[in-house]
Amino acid sequence: MQNIFDKIGSIGLMPVIVIEDAEAAVPLAEALIAGGLPLAEVTFRTAAAGKAIAAMAKVPGLLLGAGTVMKPEQVDQAMDLGATFALAPSFIPKTAEYALKKGLPFVPGVLTPSEMGAALEAGFSVQKFFPAEPAGGAPFLKAVSAPVRGIRFVPTGSIDLAKLPSYLQISSVLAVGGSWMVAPQLIANKNWKEITRLAAEAVAVVQKIRPAA
């Protein structure tokens, strides 16, 4: 489990995908990999999500997670489809504990110091800080994470390329989640070249701030 999170941390940036057409899944994954970004979170927000995860799970070299995993049965579904980790926008103890029991690396969503402490006590040292920007952005995360030791965060929510550096500079941030390089319109238009370009542009920012990544 730790190895998965180490891999995520070494990449430093997680595309958050909302996909409407499962047939776009494989070329999308290939476009990200071509841009040097072999990591993705596909959210369970659309009817196509399941087929998309199953298709992307077969793409060599892609580290794939299922997002918006809110119920225990979605933990099973994510595993059956081939996802290697899962994330949620909130901390639902029943679901989080089930993922722990099943051995699926799981990232619960948190917002407040109380939620962070509760999730850490439940056994989750990697947590999704969501929604990052509406909650106060990097300054807020830096302030609240300082006294809470032992947690690595995946901030997600309205983060773009301009805001990426401020999160990467926080020592407790494992990786940053963002959707600007996989915007629904880009996927709908099958603009794979632009997705590759945006991915490469973002990766360059990550590598400049975190040279060892």
Tell me which of 7, 23, 41, 51 is the catalytic residue. Answer: 41
Tokens of 138: 């990097």
**What is the spatial distance between Cα 109 and Cα 181, in angstroms, rounded to a whole number?**
22
Instruction: Catalogue the E-assigned strands of the chain.
Output: 13-17, 39-43, 63-67, 85-87, 106-107, 109-110, 126-129, 152-155, 176-178
Closest by CA to 12, choosing from 209, 149, 145, is: 209
Tell me which of 51, 102, 128, 193 is the catalytic residue. Answer: 128
- The amino acid occupying position 71 is K
Strand partners, 17: 42
Respond yes or no: is residue 128 known to be catalytic: yes
Respond yes or no: is residue 41 known to be catalytic: yes
Residues with catalytic roles: 41, 128
